[in-house]
Amino acid sequence: MREEIITSGRLNPNIDPHLEIWHWHIPLYLFLGGLAAGILFFASLYTVLGKENKYIGAVRRAPVIVPFLLIIGLAALFLDLRHKLYFWQLYTTIKIQSPMSWGAWTLMAITPLSFAWVAIHIREFFPNWDWKWTLLKELEKFLVKYKKILAWIILYFSVILGIYTGILFSAFNARPLWNTSILGPLFLVSGLSAGSAVIILFSRRKRERINFAKIDIMLIGIELFLIVHMFMGFLASTEVQIDAANLFLGGPYTAPFWIFVVIIGMILPAVLEFLELKKFHIPVIIPVILVLFGSLMLRFVIAYAGQMSRWLY
Amino acid sequence: MRYAMAIDTKKCVGCSDCVVACQTENDVPIGYCRDWIVEITDGTYPQLETEIRSERCNHCDNAPCVRCCPTGASHYEAGGIVTVTHNKCIGCGACIVSCPYDARYSHPEGYVDKCTFCLHRIKKGQQPACVEVCPTKCMYFGDLDDPNSDVSNVLKKRKHKTLIPEAGTKPHVYYLI
């Protein structure tokens, strides 16, 4: 029998025997960022299309949680840094080739924009809200006047935020599992699906809920299509990428991926949403939680499995 | 100027002197290393072949760690040496993830650390510590642009390879085979 034994004298913490440098912070942030991007995408899209009165849940209600999602996500990112006192160095330069850099700048832009969006819709939750200071009142007037422009800007930034969560991984050619451009669209669609699930939860109108259930079923279909393509790409590629795919096809991440992400997080909620469209009575919270769970698990599984995949030499 | 290193796998005995010299010279924290020994045994018994290599950062021409660093802390020094500016590094770990050789680690103080080709010694006209101490003299260091440097001469004479050239990083640590 032909044998190959590799012995390495290196045992650096978090590097060997396999990479474990990114823990829960990164996948949690990617989930929250993707979810925020999904909610903002639909909020700004329906505003741009002039349908804000038809989609009140999407435009006015669901975005209220976005600033919180982004702040928790940013906190997770900050906790992940190991040289925390120097975090401001991120904002001293723009490095086009570094997804981490333009992600930091995108967050810098979209976080205040999400606050502005919630501020101009605050009366949806507090009808008698008063801004007290004239400056804030003037600012609100200004934002309401140019709401369409604001919506266009948020629309662009939400797509960048959604795609960037995947590109952060796919830009690393050292980790063959991540090194596929499918991850960008896959994480974007997964974020949109999570966003539409939260909108279903926030919506008070049946018509809107049904529309978003339809949108979500379509998005889950696209996700499954992208996952199949991801594996086709891996299996038709080099040995290291075939090995990466095998982490999910018999390897240690097979059960977490296919059971938690694909079956519980995608197929099951899509079936429940479909049954709801067929007039079966299903508590809306169940598919919503399953979609969010699937979206979170997708990022956790990809983040951890990716760090196990490597080049062999 | 382009610094490079050549390591003779036929002469290396895997004694780890280079590892200890580096840890001492660069005050590497206990439990960490900037260079390390890899032993690969390949074949079918009794025809077995062993290759021993002293590995470290490859100071790539197309370094993914420099590309993905969001602050510019990871950068190229004169002569193509890849180093990290400690007080610009935020410890995000992107460079650690991006390195196909896993040559970087997170220093207990927070910043990312790695082999510097002993830049502080080179500036004084000395050889890197690992090269200096090697008891079998299996390491060659020098300027690739200088046709008479040790490294240029040995690469002219001997067959050599780099690690994972297919990753497109254009590494500059050569292994004589």
Can you say how many angstroms the Cα of residue B5 is from the centroid of all Cα atoms in its chain?
A: 8
Residue-wise pLDDT for A281-300, tens only, equals 889 999 999 999 999 999 99
Q: What are phi and psi of B4, to 5 degrees?
A: -150, 165
Residue to test with chain A: of B38, B71, B112, B161, most A Cβ within 10 A: B71
Sheet holding B47-55, edge to edge: A2-8, B36-44, B47-55
B87/A contact by beta carbon, under 8 A: yes
β-strands B3-8, B173-176 pairing: parallel
B110/A contact by beta carbon, under 8 A: yes
CA distance B98 to chain A (A): 5
Q: Which domains, and CATH codes, for chain B?
A: 3-176 (3.30.70.20)
Residue-wise pLDDT for B5-31, tens only, equals 999 999 999 999 999 999 999 999 999
Secondary structure class of B75 (helix, strand, coil)? strand
Query: Which residue among A1, A7, A86 places its CB closest to the CB of B39?
Result: A7
pLDDT at B156: 96
Enter the tokens of residue A271. Answer: 């079936």
Residue-wise pLDDT for A5-40, tens only, equals 888 889 999 999 899 999 999 999 999 999 999 999
Q: What is the ipTM of this complex?
A: 0.92
Angle of helix A206-235 versus helix A183-202 axis, rounded to 10: 160
A128/B contact by beta carbon, under 8 A: no
Put simply, the answer to whether A9 touches B19 (Cβ < 8 Å) is yes
- Look at the alpha carbons of A38, A206, A54, A65 in this order and tell me if their dihedral is positive or negative: negative
Burial A197-207 (b: 16+ CB within 10 A, else e): bbbbbbbeeee
Put simply, the answer to whether A92 touches B64 (Cβ < 8 Å) is no
Q: Which domains, and CATH codes, for chain A?
A: 25-308 (1.20.1630.10)
Put simply, the answer to whether B71 touches A238 (Cβ < 8 Å) is no
Predicted confidence band at A226 (pLDDT cuts at 50, 70, 90)? very high
CA distance A199 to chain B (A): 33
Secondary structure class of B41 (helix, strand, coil)? strand
CA distance B52 to chain A (A): 10
B99/A contact by beta carbon, under 8 A: yes
A90/B contact by beta carbon, under 8 A: yes
Peptide bond preceding A256 in cis form (omega within 30 of 0): no
**Rounded to an integer, what distance in angstroms lies between the CA atom of residue A40 and that of residue A15?**
37
pTM of the model: 0.94
Report CA dihedral (A173, A26, A114, A91) to the nearest 10 degrees.
Answer: -70
Report CA dihedral (A39, A41, A42, A46) to the nearest 10 degrees.
Answer: 140
Residue-wise pLDDT for A246-295, tens only, equals 999 999 999 999 999 999 999 999 999 999 999 898 899 999 999 999 99
Residue in A with minimal Cα distance to B94: A100
Predicted confidence band at A1 (pLDDT cuts at 50, 70, 90)? low
pLDDT at A5: 83
